[in-house]
Amino acid sequence: MIKTAFASSIGRVRESNQDFVQIFQNRVGVTMAIVCDGMGGNQGGDVASTMAVSHLGHNFANTDLHDKNLGRKWLDVQLRSENETILKAADRFPDLNGMGTTIVLAMFFDQEVLLAHLGDSRAYSYSEGNFRQITEDHSLVNELVKMGQITKEQAKTHPQKNIITQALGVSSTIDPEYNELEMKTDDVLLLCTDGLTNSLSDPLIQQVLATKGLNLQERCNKLVNEANRLGGGDNITVCLAVNEEDGASDQ
């Protein structure tokens, strides 16, 4: 049984929160969690992230998707359609010109999870004491790291670290990246925007996820609060999902 919780904060620097997060269920009880980080214009990022989450979530709620293969085919169509919708809205309204959004989402099929993402919003797994990043950033600095031109440490402070190479609403073509994951009992999945990962180190995130005395919502809140305490330089959004045995109490 999948249990979810989420939290979002404007941070301590930004004038608005352009992140958006929501959980949806379809007609056969499959859960989908979506986290988006909007960008562009005064309100453009807010509009793009809200559009992406709302449209995908509404369409998903009306499906009978029950396995990951069908989920992936559905997402291929839906993500490309949403990309086109955001591009058309940006063309139609001058104040939305240049808007776009990252996206990371998870569909939960019993113990199997299908992940899809564009941009640098991430998915992490915490399983049996092991914490690892599942997704790979679609960003200029990550390309530089892969080519060996800079180190991972240099990437954290690189002047072009905010340049995203893939997102919804930025280009007429997108190439979503998919990951599949087994989620055993008590495993935790974290979806987040870069406002979290720019502030908190992996060991600190792992420490919060491992805190047994906190339930899922409290762990979400603690991650956001810690990111704010350590600077809060961007909007911060986290979504946690845990695979619980039926009848188990909230972790």
This prediction has a pTM of 0.95
Would you say 26 and 60 are in contact if contact means Cβ atoms under 8 Å apart? yes
pLDDT at 76: 97
Mean pLDDT by 10 residues, the chain (251 residues): 97 95 98 96 87 98 97 98 97 92 96 97 97 94 87 81 91 96 96 96 96 95 97 96 74 53
pLDDT at 153: 82
Domain boundary assignment for the chain = 2-243
Would you say 243 and 192 are in contact if contact means Cβ atoms under 8 Å apart? no
Would you say 228 and 13 are in contact if contact means Cβ atoms under 8 Å apart? no
pLDDT at 197: 95
The CATH architecture one would assign to domain 2-243 is 4-Layer Sandwich (3.60)
Q: Of how many residues is the chain composed?
A: 251
